Chain A
Amino acid sequence: MYEGIVQDLIDELGRLPGIGPKSAQRIAFHLLAADPVDVRRLAVALTEVKEKVRFCRSCFNVAQAELCRICADPRRDQTLICVVEEPKDVVAIERTREFRGLYHVLGGAINPIGGVGPDDLHIRELVARLADGTVSELILATDPNTEGEVTASYLARQIGPMGLRVTRLASGLPMGGDLEWADEVTLGRAFEGRRVVGA
């Protein structure tokens, strides 16, 4: 145990995800030894992120204004919406430079054992976004795990009757791997989603 504000800093750092008591202590002493300008910059970034960052009122991505950068961009294809679980998934898809439509961030995935049901996600807001008929295709890009699959099947069931095209991201073999290590489910999906080459 250290005295006063040093221990307070260690305690606060220790509350961050993935930071144990030893790591918290190491980071605290790193900050004590660091250049005051660097530490002040970190402090300003921490304060600003809580004061200025909010969620886009349309897609629930992180934003610094009412609308996020993507929703506010008129060059984006307004007829396509890609549904993701978290804001970090938007970043992952944007890195591909393959998608030019809009996003909708659900804020998680359906997980009954974790106490998360459809009402805890931004599904109602998604249905409201689709009501004006502008969107022609909804791409379900939830994680390729059980929770993501359940969320996708629930959304497909809810939105299917609205008459727009609902698609799911392809799943199958990852690039850079060996076929023999693929599990049965992944390999089965890869067979289901096989495509013609050289045509």
Chain B
Amino acid sequence: MTSPYPAGSGSCNHGRVPVYRDEGVVLRTTPLAEADRIITVLTRRTGRVRAVAKGVRKTTSRFGSRLEPGTYVDLMLHSGRSLDTVTQADIISPYGTTIALDYARHTAAAVMLETAERLTSEEREPALRLFLLLVGGLRTLAAGERPPALVLDAYLLRSLAVSGYGMALDDCARCGEPGQHLSLTVGGGGVVCAQCRPHGAASVSAGAVRLLTDLLRGDWDGALRSDLRARREAGGIVAAYLQWHLERGLRALPHLERA
């Protein structure tokens, strides 16, 4: 479908109906009435928006598979009072459909999509860095060249960091003492030194801290050298850290397959 508006042209009024074009990743779909769906999309410029896709559940819908969760799409939308309406959609990359062919990758993608929705608590608040992280994470998952659990953990650590919940891994989260610390508290924001170690802090292995650091920095050579035990430990820490900061459990997380 071609649009008369160049990408990034922002909003256009036509004199009556506000129309805008943006690109985004479909986070979630909810059935509406007989054949429609409400589509939640994290867009590049507008942030998270919810829009109605009319007739999308019919097999003859012109939208086809364009508005499936995890799909990176170019959208034309009509602004509405509470919900926008999708008028045109073009696939940029069908990440969701590719990922759906593998159960483990799909469960990792589901956690990514739900996290992106939860970290963008306000609709229409631009969140470019979260959007770019999500596109990058889905692209890596779809390529299938790296372990899905590591891709997910890297995405979660970085998304939390850009949202202001970065995990302290190099210095003590409380006093800033540099060095390798092997105690961690999710509520305290990361690793803590022996002096600051609160009651109930967890002991972590050096391998897990190193892996978390590599994932946060995007050092894939280092991350891929980690052993299975460090990966399991780091995965548990990231999940606990995520749920602590989101305050409410993610529905997709119990279904994550870390095999």
Q: Indicate if the CB atoms of B69 and A146 lie closer than 8 Å.
A: yes
In the complex the two chains form, is B100's CB within 8 Å of A112's CB?
no
A184–B94 CB distance below 8 A: yes
- Chain B residues 87-109 with CB under 8 Å of chain A are 91, 94, 96-97, 100-103, 106-107
B252, A146: Cβ atoms closer than 8 Å: no
B96 touches A183 (CB 8 A): no
B33-A18 in contact (CB<8A): yes
Check if A176 is an interface residue, CB within 8 A of chain B.
yes
**Taking the complex as formed, is A115 at the interface, i.e. its CB lies under 8 A from any CB of chain B?**
yes
- Interface size counted on chain A using CB atoms at 8 A: 25
- A112 and B106 contacting across the interface, CB-CB below 8 Å: yes
* A112, B100: Cα distance in complex, Å: 12
Q: B243-257 interface mask toward A, CB cutoff 8 Å, 1 = contact, 0 = none?
A: 000000001101110
With the chains together, A112 CA to B107 CA distance in Å? 7
A157 to B105, CA, bound (A): 14
Measured between alpha carbons, how far is A183 from B124 in the docked complex, in Å?
28
Contact B94 A150 (CB under 8 A): no
Quick check: B60 and A174 within 8 Å, CB to CB?
A: yes
Chain A CB within 10 Å, residue with most, of B70, B97, B256: B97
The answer, among B62, B69, B94, for a CB contact under 8 Å with A185, is B94
| Residue total for B at the interface (Cβ-Cβ under 8 A) | 32
Contact A153 B251 (CB under 8 A): no
Q: What does the 1/0 interface line of B64-77 toward A look like (CB < 8 Å)?
A: 11101110000000
Q: Is A149 an interface residue (CB 8 A)?
A: yes
| Nearest B-chain residue to A184, judged by Cβ | B91
Q: A113-B110, A117-B254 are in contact. Are A153 and B103 (CB under 8 A)?
A: yes
B134 interface residue per 8 A CB criterion: no
B252 near A185 with CB under 8 A, answer: no
B164 to chain A, nearest CB (A): 24
Do A113 and B114 touch across chains, with their CB atoms under 8 A apart?
A: yes
Asked if A114 is an interface residue, CB under 8 A from chain B, the answer is yes
Q: Are B100 and A150 in contact (CB under 8 A)?
A: yes
Residues of A within 8 A of B97 (CB): 146, 149, 185
Asked if A177 lies at the interface with its beta carbon under 8 angstroms from chain B, I say yes
- Whether A112 contacts B62 by the Cβ 8 Å rule is no
Complex: chain A residue closest to B108, CB-CB: A112
